[in-house]
Amino acid sequence: MVTFSRLNRRQILSAGAAFGATMAMGGGQAGAQAGTFRFGLAMPLTGPQALYGADQIQAAQWGVADINAAGGVNGKKLDMIVLDTQADPNVGIQAMNRLINVDKVPVYITAWSAVVKAAAPLANDSKTLQIVVGANAPSISKLGDYVYTSYPLADVDLIALLKYMYGEGKKTAGVLYVNNETGISAAEIYRDAFTAMGGKIVAYEAFDPKATDFTGPILKARASGADMIHIQGQVSDTPQIIAQMRQLGIKQTISSYSAIFHPKFIQSLGAAAEGVVVTSLAPSPEVSADVAKYVQRWVKEKGREPNGLPYTQYLYDAPYLVAKIFEKLDKDGTAITGTSMRQAMLDIKTFHLPLTGQVDILPDHTVKKPVDLMQVKGGKWERITTIGT
């Protein structure tokens, strides 16, 4: 059972009716109607981020549909209430208010850092569990008792990458990063972690998010003689930077992060992609039959691959994570509240999810997740090691 709703009168009335029914049942089972377990999903369905948000909602809806088709949670249906945040903090707060105060869900899923941060006080005050899926700002782990993430924050994969590289004898590094909030903060994490390990950053160069030529920063990195060069760029510009690096004669090991781990990266670079090392936080269609089937489902039903495939994998898995928590509480006969959901999630700790694999949700509000390091060898991605198992 999947419901999509915006703030219209009919649905507010029906939500009110549902609320009344819930209360009539005794009120102890917040978020549970007769035979259902309810939770919320607040993502951008309109506005500039809708192209990503809509696909992530679609993925979560498929997750719910598949769980229900397989018998639901202890025989009960999962019911997901979808609200639009427009990736805007103000709209997001309205959506969370509705989920918390009208729909009385014990748990909701959301993303986009600005929305996550704006909604955190609501979750904490109302003791409603907020699960963040997709945003990766390190500050998310410090937003309060009821804000958790199932998506690794930015430091997880970079530290794993550095551990491997340092172990391989790379003692000096150059960093090229995109000059926006994401690039700057990730580059700082990389710099600080590498320095703490005993490495030395010998080039630290920013480039503009709208730049089309990177000769200057590349030549500075080349002149530094670094053992390796890390690129913390955007999906769109990183292949171009690597192409220019190879054209300008850089032969050192080049690394980047999970956004680059996709087959089109190799297609767009050809031989220039050889040797590039990246992190992977979600299996690709090449290494996982389930993910390959999932991508085929997109192509069959929507005529295209999803925007931001790895993120949609996490969103597909999010209902499975929530279902696992409901299942435990239902089995234990515990009243379903935000507090009990939070505790059950921490008790379960390790979740095995269909499209993203194992994840540990930790009491310090971070996640522990094995990070695969992938390298281009012979024109395809090969896993060279897994860090954090």
Partner 1 sequence: MFDLATIMQILWTSVATSSYYVLFALSFALALKVNKVFNFTQAAVMSVAFYTAYGCVQLLDWPAFIALPLALVAALVLSWFIEVFGFSILRERKVEMLFVFIFTFMVSQLTVYLISLAFGTWSHTIFQSMFWPVTLVGPIAISGWDIPALVVAFGSAAILFAFLRFSRWGQFMVAVSDNPDLAELYGIEKRKVYLLTILIAGALAAIGMFLYGMRAQVQPRTSLDLMLFATVATIIGGIGNLFGALIAAVGLAVIQNASILFISSEWQAFLVYAILFATIIFLPGGLRMPKFGTRFETKTREISLAEETPSAPPSTRAE
Residue of 293, 289, 280 lying closest to 369 (CA atoms): 280
| 139, two tokens | 């500050």
Q: How far is the CB of 181 from partner 1 (least distance, A)?
A: 13
Q: How far is the CB of 305 from partner 1 (least distance, A)?
A: 8
Q: Which residues of 11-38 are buried (b: 16+ CB within 10 A; e: fewer)?
A: beeebeebbeebeeeeeebbbbbeebbb
Q: Between 88 and 205, whose beta carbon lies closer to partner 1? A: 205
Q: Between 26 and 378, whose beta carbon lies closer to partner 1? A: 378
Residue of 78, 57, 26 lying closest to 322 (CA atoms): 78
Q: Between 78 and 229, whose beta carbon lies closer to partner 1? A: 229
Q: How far is the CB of 207 from partner 1 (least distance, A)?
A: 6
Give backbone dihedrals phi and psi of 50, rounded to 5 degrees, phi first: -65, -30
Q: Between 26 and 249, whose beta carbon lies closer to partner 1? A: 249
In this structure, what DSSP letter does residue 101 have?
I
Give CA–CA dist 166/288, Å, rounded.
29
Judge whether 79 and 32 are in contact, CB under 8 Å.
Answer: no
Judge whether 49 and 86 are in contact, CB under 8 Å.
Answer: yes
Q: Between 208 and 332, whose beta carbon lies closer to partner 1? A: 208
Q: How far is the CB of 269 from partner 1 (least distance, A)?
A: 5
Q: Between 36 and 240, whose beta carbon lies closer to partner 1? A: 240
| 268, two tokens | 């767009």
Q: Which residues are at the interface with partner 1 (CB under 8 A)?
A: 51-52, 179, 205-208, 210-213, 215-217, 219-220, 223, 235-237, 239-240, 243, 246-249, 264, 267-272, 304-305, 307
Give CA–CA dist 86/53, Å, rounded.
9
Q: How far is the CB of 245 from partner 1 (least distance, A)?
A: 11
Give CA–CA dist 268/134, Å, rounded.
26
Q: How far is the CB of 231 from partner 1 (least distance, A)?
A: 13
Q: Are strands 77-84 and 277-280 parallel, antiparallel or unpaired?
A: unpaired
Q: Between 215 and 358, whose beta carbon lies closer to partner 1? A: 215
Q: Between 72 and 310, whose beta carbon lies closer to partner 1? A: 310
Q: Between 106 and 233, whose beta carbon lies closer to partner 1? A: 233
Q: How far is the CB of 16 from partner 1 (least distance, A)?
A: 35
Q: Which residue has the tokens 């290494």?
A: 287
Residue of 377, 344, 331, 311 lying closest to 44 (CA atoms): 311
Count other Cβ atoms within 10 Å, centred on residue 289: 9
Q: Between 52 and 294, whose beta carbon lies closer to partner 1? A: 52
Interhelix angle 215-224/238-247, nearest 10 degrees? 60
Q: How far is the CB of 70 from partner 1 (least distance, A)?
A: 30
| 253, two tokens | 């090991």
Q: How far is the CB of 308 from partner 1 (least distance, A)?
A: 8
Q: How far is the CB of 105 from partner 1 (least distance, A)?
A: 30
Contact residues for 23 (Cβ-Cβ < 8 A; gap 6+)? none
